[in-house]
Chain A
Amino acid sequence: MTLPLGYFVLQQGHELQAAQGHAGEAFEPFLPGLVVLLPLLGFLLNGALALAASRRSAEAVRGGGELDFFQGGKRPLTHVLPTWIGPGVIGLAFVIVLVNFFRMLGADLHEPVVRTYWTWMATGSLQVDAALQLDQLSMVMMLVVTGVSFLIHIFSVGYMGDDQGYPRYFAYLNLFVFFMLTLVMGANFPVLFVGWEGVGFCSYILIGYWFSDREKADAGKKAFVVNRIGDFGFLVAMFLIFTIFGTLNFTEVFEAAPATLAYGGALVTAITLLLLLGATGKSAQIPLYVWLPDAMAGPTPVSALIHAATMVTAGVYMVARTSVLFALAPVGGLSVALIGAATALFAATIGLAQYDIKKVLAYSTISQLGYMFIGVGVGAYAAGIFHLMTHAFFKALLFLGSGAVIHAMHHALHHTHNHADPQDMRNMGGLKKYMPVTWIVMWVATLAIAGIWPFAGFFSKDEIIWYAGARAAGTYGGWFTLIWIMALAAAMITAVYMTRLMVMTFHGANRTGQEEARHLHEAPWVMTVPLMVLAVLSVFGGWVNVPHAISESFLGGFGLLPMTEWMHEWLHPVAGLATEIQAANAGDFSHHSPFGGGELLWALLSTAAALVVVLVSARVVGGFKILPAHQSREPSGFKKVLFKKYYVDEIYDGLVVQPLLKASRFAWKVIDAGVVDGIANGLGHTARAAGWFGSLFQTGSVNTYALFLAIGVLVILGVIAF
């Protein structure tokens, strides 16, 4: 890292603020560079502590032993300081973001504020600056990233407290936040790409955090390799954009796009489809979602932060950021929505049959990301980002809650030397008695994700479904009707699998075993407090973007509840241009669903349906006879297909991995060992054979030499004479 640190903070940069004579105060950013730098500083400090700790540990190993940092109940300094540094830097960054947020709220901002720090590269006509951009969209993302990260960092203090690699863990986590902020704040494609790759790398090292376990290290590798496929699409899209526009800065590209690119043209469609390929990799959509379930091998707070709340939403953010391009390419937008709908439905059905609590949540995340894709795909960018935010709240809560459960299960099983799987829901049951706080907050998150009024997920998910249906009257209306139906179906399945998770984990009879049950306990406050904060956000987080039709009906207490349509208006300066382009060419959103009925009616219908589904599936799952994992049989029939995740991993293995392995083996055995080595060895063998032949003339006998000498003289004389 060769960032001139002080320069970054002190240099105010020159602004490209286009104040076009607007009324209201201009937005003056407050230390935006420091927001990015603080997590990096945390990484450096924690990284130094981790190196110091690893040196001690390596010395112990060389001495023939193994070092236990917590021996004698005393924590060394290397394992104390990260508790303060790790969450501390993120908390500070969050405060700075809040200051900026309130400044932006008070200001009248129509164009992004770009802070240019230094020229990163300038070759030929390509000029890329290390620049950060502040606008309404990046502000929402910064708030979500730093806010949720802060809570998860605090939770990690409790969850990872007993881990030998404690400083290393916080170093990685801080580094991740640094790259994630680079991603959402970058003012041009290359800077975004740096963040994009950086979070991918952090995801890799954190999935494989317990790298001594081969399976976990392989899961990290899988995530990395699958993401490369998506990155390829992103890169090619970036190259295309550069060849067309001659610049990679967001503001310039999006300003020029409507005039430069023909609506629905092949070029813009190609760019959007390539960007979509990139987004499917990072945001775990069909066909590149396979890495995310495996990514659950990482520590649970990592799953909450990276694989639920922040990194996986990068694809959604990227589509929203490039909304102008997607609005210009109706096929690109439709593809985004279709892939989202397919993924939402597909992943939700897999979630129905998983037993690992984190696997259920992983498929749930993929499914919810599908909803966000529907949102940004149909052109409802505010709705997509809104769901991104609420999902960050309730899914982080679900993951952290499952982390608390796993933590308790792990301790209970550890104390009794039981080798059962602490993540298998068949081994749980009846935990509400032991972990009441976790139980309550998990139910809050479940109701939120199931889309039940007045929880956050109700407003965000319903809005996405609504907008998908509202495009059924325009271009490609048939497709959007299909997407609308798939999204509704997936919403119902979501309610089922989440209720199943809750009932299997917290209700019914306890299946851990009697001795184990005595060791079950609620998580410490450092873990439960973040849960409670997230629970509050999961309830009220949805109230910031409620359409008037709903907030003024009885669902909004006839306008008495503090609900606003704030986010929609807030994101208008960013998404407005795309919305106009779409309205002008593909038709505006209609005010009724494909089958008639207004927004209020469908909101009522869906929440009522979700509630019924939750109640029914709670009864049904509660009636199942569930046995602990080691006593259960393998599922059969279609349930087995679901349990095996539609055999997608096996299909990919057969279609991609094995042919690739075979091709590599061919290249190794035939081309390399055969042809290349054959040529090299053949030359050697030829030289040896020639040498052997020549050595035949060296008999060691003087007479032979004399004979050759005589023959040689005769030949020379012959040549001279004739």
Chain B
Amino acid sequence: MLTEALVVSAVLFVVGTFGVLVRRNAIIMFLCIELQLNAANLSFVALSRYLGMDGQIFVFFVMTVAAAEAAVGLAIIISIFRHYETVSVDNFNLLKW
């Protein structure tokens, strides 16, 4: 069982990473990051069966952080959208030297 769970987790993580790298829509990138986080969560839960309860507790922490992150991130995206009327990250490159 463990192997299958880890394979699914890895696939999910790669999909999420790929999405972050290639997509330009901020909301999609945001979803892909969630995908990566939950891929990690899946690994934690699967491994906790063999390595003790620590992994499950970690998952709760990750979920909490992810929820907080989603709240702040979405707020930022909405704010950007109001300003630029777009959520394509290609347009947000002012924050550099």
Contacts and interface: CB of A to CB of B under 8 A. Distances in A.
Interface string B8-47: 0000000001001100100001000000000000000000
A700 B21 contact: no
B50 interface: no
B96 A703 contact: no
A520 B97 CA distance: 83
Nearest to B23: A703
Interface size class of B (residues with CB under 8 A): 10 to 19
B89 A700 contact: no
Contact of A700 (B20, B24, B94): B94
A699 interface: yes
B72 to A, nearest CB: 15
Interface string A682-712: 0000000000000100111111001100100
Contact of A710 (B17, B89, B92, B93): B17
B4 interface: no
B91 to A, nearest CB: 10
Contacts of B71: none
B89 A702 contact: yes
B95 interface: yes
Interface in B63-94: 89-90, 92-94
Contacts of B17: 710
Q: Is the interface of A mostly helix, strand, loop or mixed?
A: helix
A707 B29 CA distance: 13
Contact of B89 (A695, A703, A707): A703
Nearest to B33: A706
B21 A695 contact: no
B96 A702 contact: no
Which of B90, B92, B97 neighbours the largest number of chain A CB atoms within 10 Å of its CB? Answer: B97
A703 to B, nearest CB: 6
Given A706-B21, A710-B21, A700 B96 contact: yes
B90 A701 contact: yes
A354 B90 CA distance: 90
Contact of B96 (A698, A707, A710): A698
A701 B21 contact: no
B21 A703 contact: yes
B97 A695 contact: yes
Nearest to A702: B89
Nearest to B90: A701
Contact of B95 (A700, A703, A706, A707): A700
B20 A706 contact: yes
A710 B22 CA distance: 12
B94 A702 contact: no
A699 B93 contact: yes
A702 B95 CA distance: 10
Nearest to B97: A695
A699 B20 CA distance: 17
A707 B21 CA distance: 6
Nearest to B22: A703
Contacts of A698: 96-97
A701 B89 contact: yes
B94 A703 contact: no
Contacts of A695: 96-97
A67 to B, nearest CB: 61
B29 A702 contact: yes
A712 B93 CA distance: 21
Contacts of A700: 92-96
B21 A699 contact: no
Interface string A558-601: 00000000000000000000000000000000000000000000
A701 B29 CA distance: 13
B24 A703 contact: yes
A705 to B, nearest CB: 10
A699 B95 CA distance: 8
A699 B94 CA distance: 9
A403 to B, nearest CB: 76
A386 to B, nearest CB: 87
Contacts of B96: 695, 698-700
A707 B17 CA distance: 9
A702 B93 CA distance: 8
A233 B51 CA distance: 92
A701 B90 CA distance: 7
Which of A698, A701, A707 neighbours the largest number of chain B CB atoms within 10 Å of its CB? Answer: A701
A702 B92 contact: yes
Nearest to A696: B97
Contacts of A706: 20-21
**9 residue pairs, one from A and one from B, having the closest CB atoms:** A700-B96, A700-B93, A701-B93, A698-B96, A695-B97, A702-B89, A706-B20, A700-B95, A706-B21
20 contacts: A695-B97, A698-B96, A698-B97, A699-B93, A699-B96, A700-B92, A700-B93, A700-B95, A701-B92, A701-B93, A702-B29, A702-B89, A702-B92, A703-B24, A703-B89, A706-B20, A706-B21, A707-B21, A710-B17, A710-B21
